[in-house]
Structure 1
Amino acid sequence: LSKGDVISQEMVSTMATDPIIFACANPDPEILPDVAKDVRPDVIIGTGRSDYPNQVNNVLGFPNIFRGALDVRASHITENMKMAAAKALAGLAREDVPSYVKSAHSREDKSFGSEYIIPSPFDKRVMEYVAPAVAQAAVDDGVARVRSFIKERYVEHIKAISEKI
């Protein structure tokens, strides 16, 4: 548990080069991004708020982790499945950002960097990246209960679903 305004500029000023802060208390983060950047322009900061860059939002994980797990009838969620989801999100963050995502944030300059290390919850491709990665990890870990899993077919199935969203 946390609360807003518990990280001071003095604390931020003592951090190593290119510090990363996840200030996820809502509605007020532990430190506001502009306050942190005033003393450390090199800071990479994520908050739980959509009105700041790098929104840390569980909507990026849970629906898609469960989608992949349920589609292969996984008996449980493994650490490898969670890591596969995280790596899929990291990979997506490095891809070109579609115009519909940029316009949803009213920022045309969205691309991978200190202001965009986490994909947007508005990016329909999140499901296309995360669910197949999780499903494959479940198969690899031996917790999937489907008889046959062909990742390429599953990816096409997920893409067809996400196009309808």
Structure 2
Amino acid sequence: MSSSRAQGGFTLIELLVVLAIVGVLFALGTYSYLSTRNPPRDAARTVHAALITLRSQAMSNTQARRLILVNDKELILQSSVRCSESDQSKWTPIGTVGLDAGNRPLVLTASKPSPANPTVQSNALLVVCFTSRGMAEPQGAMTAARFLNLTDGRRTYVVEAALNGAVRTGAK
């Protein structure tokens, strides 16, 4: 009769190899996830989606819809009978949409609304108003398009709203 007994379990070397493989896979997965975060792109997509939604709401409800961007944190959405409404109290708030810039500061530059336009705050970075026909009403000095540049120092994205109501977003 042999006195060998069955050995169960893993050796220390096997455990270390498995832990090393799991660690490398975890590091690759974390790097891949973090590289998908792109705050300027995400903010540009949020502004783009808000503009498209406001345009479709303006056409379906036959009321003017306006987007105001005051800072890098939120968009203010409002409705009124017409875009040319100068009395701020006649603009009904629809809601706000937050812009997630992540942990990097997001720098916004835009075609500024005219300071002579009394319908918006003087510190607004971007104002786009859609008429009941889906057209972007000229706000202040808007002649061709309203644009917004979003950058975090590494990447820049542009959102444009043309007078015909078209909205375009792309990398710069």
- Give the TM-score range, shorter chain: under 0.3
How high is the TM-score relative to the length of structure 1? 0.21
More strand by share: 2
More helix by share: 1
How high is the TM-score relative to the length of structure 2? 0.21
Larger radius of gyration: 2
